Structure 1
Amino acid sequence: MSLLLALILLAACGNGAQETPDALEALDYAAEKAEATDSFLSQLPDGNAVVLLCSAPAAGQMRKTLFFSHDGGENWADGLDLTESIGNYPVGAIFLTPQRGFVLTDYHGVDDYLYATSDGGASWESVGLPLAGSTFSYIEGREIRYENGTLYLSLAGKTETSITHLRFRSDDGGVTWLAY
C-alpha cells in the first residue's frame, strides 16, 4: 500500500476505528487506478469521509476522482470521475455534508478557481467571488477551510508586477462570500 493511502486512511479513521485489509486494498487499488499523487480528505461531522484523489498533471490534464465512505472508512464507494467537471489543478477540497462540497483550484486565468456541488459531486458549478474592478491576470487558489460554521478561502491575485492576497468568508455554507 502506498504511503499516501496509509495517511489518508489513518486520517479518515482517526476516531479509533480499525480498518480492515479489504478496505485498505480497495482504496489502494482505487488510488493506483487514479494514479493519485495528491489527496484531499474531508472528515464529515458524522464521522464519514470524502477523499479527492488527483494524479500528477500530464499534457495539461490531471485525473480527479472523488471517493465517499458512509461507514467511517470501513468501505469506500466507487469513485466519481471529476476530470471534466473540474478543469484546473485542485489545491484544496472540503465537504460540509455528503452533498455540499467545494474544490479550490490553481488556474492560469481569472475564471473558474472555486467549484461547488450540492448533489454529492454529480455536478459542479463555478463559484463567482466579489472581485469587482480587479485587474488580475491570474488567480491562485491557496486554502479553503471550515471552522465553527464558517468557510474561509484564501487566494492570490496576480498581475505582471504584483501579488495581492485575498481572503473571503462565508457564514451560510458557501452561498454568499464576503471579503475580509
Structure 2
Amino acid sequence: MTKSMQKIGETLAKLEVLGSRLSVLFSIMFVLVCMSVALFLLLEAMDFAGTGELPNLALIMQLISTLLDFVIYGAMLLVMRSIAKDVACGCSPFTIAHASQIRVVAWLFVAGFVLGILASPGFVSVVDAGGVHVGLASDQLTDYPIVPIDVKSVVGAVVCFSLSSVWKYGALLQADSDDYL
C-alpha cells in the first residue's frame, strides 16, 4: 500500500469516528430544539389561557416567525445529522440528496427573512397604497418606521445556496471518480 493510500485510509477512519460523534451531537441538539418549541408553545398557550383574549394579528405573525426560526434550526440539524451519519457509515457526504436538503434549508432562510419583514410593526407604514394598508398596524409606530432586515437569514440563505452548489458539484465529481474505479 502506498503512503498516500495509507493516509487516505487513516483520514477516512478518523472521519467515520467524527461523523458518528457529530451524528449523536446533532440528534441531541435536535431534541433540544423540539423541547424548546414545545416549551415555547406551552408558555404561549398558558399566557392565552391566563388572559382569555385572542392574540392580535401582529402577535400571531411574530409567533409564526419565531416558529419558522425553530423549523429552520431543526431542518439544519437534521441535514447535518444525515450527512454525519453517511460519513460515519463510510459513505460519501457528497450526494445529490444532501445538496437538495441544503437547498431546502436555504429556502427556509428566505421564508424566514420575508416573514420577518411582513411581521414587523413598521411594515404597514412603509407599504401604504392610497387608503389600503398592506401589513400589520401597530399603535407603537413612530414618525420614522423601521422595517427590520434580518441579516442572519440573508447570510444563511446565501451560504446554504452556495453550499448546495458545492455539494452538488462534489457529488458529480464523486460519481465520476467512482465510475473510473
- Normalized against structure 2, the TM-score is what? 0.19
Taking structure 1 as the reference length, the TM-score comes to 0.20
The structure richer in strand per residue is 1
Higher relative contact order (CA 8 A, sep 6+): 2
Greater helix proportion: 2
